[in-house]
Structure 1
Amino acid sequence: MADALAMAAGNVLGVGELRQARGWSRQLAEHPLLAEAGHHATSWLLVTEALAGQGDQVLTDSATFLDAWEHSGRQRSFVLGPAAASVAMIHGLRGDHDARATWLAIADRAGPVLHHRHGHGAVFDALVLLHHEDADAALGRLAPEPEQVWKWACWVWLHWYVALRAEASVLAGHPDARARVDAARSVVAGNPVATAPLDRAQALLDDDLTRQLAAARAFDAAGCRYQSARTLLLAGSGHAAAGTAALADLGLAPVAVG
């Protein structure tokens, strides 16, 4: 049952059913078999919460993960790397770069190196870079064509990878941006969380505010409140204040460090 819950969480996350993924992840976290293996219990929960933008909840659950991982002898596993990287992402979205560096180091030790470099790590790093309006760096992190990193980005991460790559291309002003958006659509068809960034990117290309706001609603419907808030920020004008308030509500407002 524990293995089935983990596979269910990963599969539905990969096709953009974020609410279902969080539900399966929560059941996995509460499974009695994993009562003394908190790092495995919370692994998918951390990932799904992070992608939904539940910043405060991720920080709470990360303490359970870290304590159990350290007591286990700091195991390396396919599922543990993404969990640690997702915590690093949340710290990055909060502007706490020291904490992010700490968790990136944990991710390097907890999961397969190449998966972190080219798969989930590229996705989470790009999300942080786009959050801080560094589209050029995000595009650099996603520079390889999807076919070049398919081995590591497949299953859960491929749709996220191609959607973010297309969006970063638009925001960075890449000459192939429109073509990348179009190409990504054929890959992510049917995935609501990966289609919405493409709709948002297309709206930015076309200066279509109505479509940007429709993308925000699509993110809300998919249970991805962080991206909904970010869409409002990108929309600017009278919508930015609502986006900022939504980020604060998620625990993702910048924090004072140092």
Structure 2
Amino acid sequence: MMAESSALDRLTTIRLSRGEGRAALASAVHRIELLDPLVLDPWVGFELSDAYVMSVESAIAAGDLAEARRLAERMRDLPHHREDPHVAVARLIVVAALEGDWQRALVAGDRFREGWERAGSPRVPTLRRAARAMATVHGMRGDTAAHDEWMRIFTALVPKARQTHDQHTSAFFEALMLLHLGRAGEAVQRLDVHPHELRRWYQGIWRPWYAAAWAEAAVLAGEPDAAERIASVQATTAENAVTAALVARAAALAAGDRAGVLAAADALEAAGCRYQWARSLVLAGGADRERGAAELAVMGAVIA
């Protein structure tokens, strides 16, 4: 069983590196199904926890936020995570931030910080995405002090010699906040690497999200290569329902196509991405702007 689990893990990473999010999700979930019936000893517990991590990450890569949430909640409730709440909720924080369920993210963030501090503030690079997502949520809510505190935690989670770990994921989350705040030019500068250069398997998880933000930032900043950027990432983002809609929205914004922006809003709502749905309504303007702004206000977001 352990050998098969290891093989499925390797298959998942290969599929992620190729940009095959849905296939990666299938192999990661198969790994969970293989391990779930086994007696929970330390070795099985480690494998099962890792299988859930990979399944959530693969669901994010595929843009299946509903499945990502379901799996993150199951991971949270694993019995061997009872004493490590920061590990239990880390992936749920990321999913909730992407969905726009910021209240859930805030609650999970409190649990993360309390557990992490109680454990002695261990340096765990794989938990940095949760801290970066929390910083982004607070930044979009206009809480500068909380944003800065989570950035402190983000930095503390990895030794200084490895500060570049997850740098492109971090760039995506910072750009998400900058775009929300109307600072598209800064987002362009932050996303300074072409998405096609993100080739490692763990970069494959976030490649479509980074690519969509990279294209949108260019449109909103009025960059001369905006149309080329959109064309270059359409294949990269196509399999992920959320990022495909975001690139379609960027194209519609570039063309002044309000109907296209609203169509993207519908697709984002169907994909369970409440934040980007509401933001699309704001970007569409007119009467829809007021409705989108109201939805963002419910989340606690500041409106640029």
Say whether the fold is shared (TM-score over 0.5): yes
1:80 paired to 2:127: yes
Runs ≥4 residues deviating over 3 A: 147-153
Distance in 2 separating the partners of 1:96 and 1:152: 33
Query: 2:149 maps to which residue?
Result: 102
> Match for residue 213 of structure 2?
164
- The C-alpha deviation readout for 1:88-134, integer Å capped at 9, x for no partner, is 01001101112101101111111452134x22210110000000000
What CA distance in whole angstroms lies between the structure 2 residues aligned with 1:121 and 1:49?
16
The residue that corresponds to 2:191 in the other structure is: 142
Superposed CA offset, 1:191-246 (max 9, x none): 11111111111101111111100101111111100000001111111111110111
2:55 counterpart residue number? 8
Query: Do the aligned residues in 1 keep the contact of 2:195 with 2:211 (CA within 8 Å)?
Result: yes
Which residue does 1:198 correspond to in 2? 247
State yes or no: 1:129 paired with 2:202.
Answer: no
Q: Residues 116-166 of structure 1, C-alpha deviation per residue, up to 9 Å, x if partnerless?
A: 4x2221011000000000000011100122244544961321111111000
The structure 2 residue matched to 1:213, chosen from 255, 262, 265, is 262
The Cα offsets for residues 28-61 of structure 1, whole Å up to 9 and x where unpaired, read as 1111110010010001000000011111111111
- 1:225-240 equivalences in 2 (<5 Å): 225-240=274-289
TM-score normalized with structure 2 length: 0.80
Q: Is the 8 A contact 1:44 1:79 kept in 2?
A: no
| Alpha-carbon RMSD | 1.5
- Residue 121 of structure 2 aligns to a residue whose secondary structure is coil
Stretches of structure 2 lacking an aligned partner (at least 5 in a row): 1-47
Matched, 1:31 2:78: yes
For 1:246 and 1:41, the matched residues in 2 are separated by 29
Counterpart Cα distance in 1 of 2:300 and 2:199: 33
Q: SS of 2:242's equivalent?
A: helix
Pairing 1:26-65 to 2, within 5 Å after superposition:
26-65=73-112
Asked if the contact 1:120–1:153 (Cα under 8 Å) also holds between the matched residues in 2, the reply is no
List gaps (5 residues or longer) in structure 1: none
2:198–2:207 CA contact under 8 A, matched in 1: no
* Aligned residue among 226, 229, 232 for 1:183: 232
Q: Which amino acid aligns with 2:153?
A: I
Quote how far apart the aligned CAs of 1:77 are: 2.2
Q: Is the 8 A contact 1:85 1:107 kept in 2?
A: yes
RCO greater where, 1 or 2, for CA within 8 Å and sep 6 or more?
1
Larger radius of gyration: 2
Change (3 A) 1:4 1:151: closer
CA contact (8 A) 1:89 1:127 kept: yes
Residues 1:114 and 2:161 aligned together: no
SS of 1:73's partner is: coil
Identify the residue that residue 39 of structure 2 maps to in structure 1: none
| Secondary structure at the counterpart of residue 115 of structure 1 | coil
Give the TM-score, by structure 1 length.
0.94
